[in-house]
Amino acid sequence: MKRVYAREEVCAGCKLCEVHCAVAHSAYPQDIVKAFLRQKVKPIARVLVEENRPISFALQCRHCDEAPCTKACITGAMQKDPLTGVVTNEETRCVGCWTCILSCPFGAIKRDETGRKVAAKCDLCSSAGTLPVCVQHCPNDALVFAEEPGWRR
């Protein structure tokens, strides 16, 4: 399956990926200004730029083959789609117990308290049906959406 991979040698550390991820998952996915200024609480990004200067790279859910979060989930809200392989959190079933957050070895799951308390994570923009927005909007091509392992030139 295709995943998002980071090329840290060209990551500019700008965090535009975080901005666009947050907007895409907000109440105003097409309007950055409204997404940030209209919502009472700022929208959550599901990708985080890890930094230890001069190194930086964007990290999001790896959609693991054996996803610990799916095993940890007490309600079964966290599922790996058998066809696409994408691991998503069904928010209607999520009770915000944060067990998945503890179990994720990458720290890729966030607490979303903008509405009901639910766990938020990268869904490869599968609900929007587009190429992941972090990849689309990275200004320096530091993120690629590719099959592993052949993506490194």
Rounded Cα gap, residues 89 and 85, in angstroms: 13
Per CB under 8 A, does 131 bind other proteins?
Answer: no
Q: Which stretch binds other proteins (CB under 8 A): 8-16, 69-77, 105-113, 117-125?
A: 8-16
> What is the rounded CA–CA span in Å between residue 11 and residue 66?
28
Residue 66: CB partners within 8 Å, gap ≥ 6? Answer: none
Within 53-82, the residues that bind other proteins by CB under 8 A are 53-54
- Under rule CB under 8 A, residue 14 binds other proteins: yes
Q: Which of 30, 47, 125, 119 is nearest to 77 (CA)?
A: 119
> How far apart, in whole angstroms, are the C-alpha atoms of residue 5 and residue 14?
17
Closer Cβ to other proteins, 31 or 90, answer by number? 31
Q: Of 54 and 105, which CB lies nearer to other proteins in the complex structure?
A: 54
Q: How far is residue 70 CA from its own chain's centroid?
A: 16
The stretch near other proteins (CB under 8 A) out of 10-18, 91-99, 101-109, 127-135 is 10-18
Residues that bind other proteins (CB under 8 A): 9-16, 18-20, 32-33, 35-37, 53-54, 137, 139-142
